[in-house]
Structure 1
């Protein structure tokens, strides 16, 4: 088992020790989830989940919130800004925290690095150490920040969800090679809180295996992108509890075109049992999406611990 695999399969012990903060106390304030790359996709999932739980929220990339917060928040409006950064050193996110604090916003940092730069500009810090062998690609750290953010948004995550995530990981790992072999076009689909997770799944496979991937809201895939779906394609559908029938109809159409479909919580060429609310489903699916990227990297003979062109922390000069 290589370092990436170990980081994926061994992450659950870190989940068990993650902070369990008190949920948001002010549902009238706007909550702004900020991150870059993986952290932004996690932020999107958290903002959607928080809205569904009655907490007004948006997600913004670190660079946008640093330079252009006025496009996302009305003048004079204050917010609770939740910044996500594994290292606590990503320039855009650190600067986003700094300008937020200067503007009078309450800042909460979700990070896997204690006493990092981002914590200097945070009123509240939620810290969860990640797997020590995690490489450039975010695996356990992504799950940990999603877990902490979900608890902060009032979503209950406990032993049942952790066990479900372990089961989904094992099931996808068993099916991964037969699903991926001979395929070169990869699509990730989800809605609501699962849309950000679908984007993160696409990013993981892209980073690890140097493959081109696409991600769309599930129903939108029919509006143009489906023209590329054929016998070279794999589609990953994160089924929404509210749209099972529509998602299943799309899966049927894709399979008829020769697409192999991995269905989380619904029909597919391979079906992975996932239940519960949409927000919790995202966390349950995340490790399984990570191993999918690793298995594609192995099929291509690539070492995912240090992908081409990437660095562990993006620091701008």
Structure 2
């Protein structure tokens, strides 16, 4: 995996870009599938960093239910996210909103010479990300990282920019051990996987669920961490593996949640800046030297490797999942 090198290239691109300041009432981050889960995390990160109202919406909702999202006489920035730059719903949404004087658009893509890039007012193009696989991996990590850098630049936040600059190096050291998730992936007694993450990490939990589902057709779900107690915990048994995306902000609650799941027979992999003495069946300890809102890219390689190793164990081709194509067109 060369995600650390690609993240460094993404950093170098964003470092040298200038953006219009967002004098708008709200920013809407939008995409489809993986790009929508990315948007969900990006919107929460952006609002946390800048103090501006931000939300995430599936691209199709922008043209199917415009009045529920766009209020007359309010100003919006629409941030469209698409690896290919050709996703049908993104193009339809931008075309549908074209001509509205209260809307500006920013495209984030891994392909600059595409209809989406041409339709947007500004473009962040990560052309160095070239994935042949149907499944999005480093494109997700790099596009989210680009939007984190974008948010920090919009807020002129030197602290966030300094922490984000460290991310490629941290990712490089974190993914040195590619076997961190292999034992769980290889355990065929675990037939149900649950991913838990709250706040801006809920989008990562959803994306990890999608990756495992795409690559292996395994039964898996995602929830906001503490919401899992409110009904879904009833499905936990000895066949259940739960992956908890721990944060400093949730540290006061994570241990008790783990104990509740273990009492029901669930197997817990906790990953994050875990405190000394934290108890789980398996742990991946990640750096606490940078803030929760800047650490997302450090989690993703391990989550993607879990799906990859599980696919290999089950005899699937992780690059060519069943029933999927790289670009979905209506």
Deviations 1:109-148 (A, max 9, x none): 0000121110121010100125435300001111111011
The alpha-carbon deviation at position 290 of structure 1 amounts to: 0.7
- For residues 38 and 281 of structure 1, do their structure 2 counterparts lie closer, same or farther at Cα, with a shift above 3 Å needed? same
Write out aligned runs for 1:159-238 (5 A): 159-171=165-177, 173-180=178-185, 181-182=187-188, 183-238=190-245
- How many residues align? The count is 307
Aligned match of 2:283: 271
In terms of mean alpha carbon deviation, does 140-149 or 14-23 score higher? 14-23
User: 2:149 & 2:97 partners in 1: Cα distance?
Assistant: 23
Partner Cα distance (1:216, 1:24) in 2 = 35
Other-structure match for 2:251: 244
Conserved in 1, the CA contact under 8 Å of 2:25 and 2:53? yes
- Secondary structure of 1:175's aligned partner: coil
Q: Cα gap change, 1:216/1:87 in structure 2, threshold over 3 Å: closer, same or farther?
A: same
1:89 aligns with 2:89: no
Measured in 2, the distance between the counterparts of 1:177 and 1:147 equals: 25
TM-aligned CA distance change 1:309 to 1:32, over 3 Å: same
Shift of 1:102: 2.5
RMSD: 1.8
Q: Equivalents in 2 of 1:23, 1:251: separation in Å?
A: 43
Runs of 4+ in 1 over 6 A off after TM superposition: none
TM-score, normalised with respect to structure 2? 0.88
**Uncovered stretches (5+) of structure 1, i.e. residues with no partner:** 1-8
Could you say what secondary structure the match of 1:126 adopts? strand
Measure the CA separation in 2 of the matches of 1:136 and 1:117: 20
- Distance in 1, matches of 2:86 and 2:167, equals 30
Q: Gapped runs of 5+ residues in structure 2?
A: 153-159
**Number of the residue aligned with 1:120:** 118
Q: How big is the shift at 1:22?
A: 4.5
CA distances 1:146-188 after superposition (whole Å, capped 9, x unpaired): 01111111143544212222333344x3232322312111011
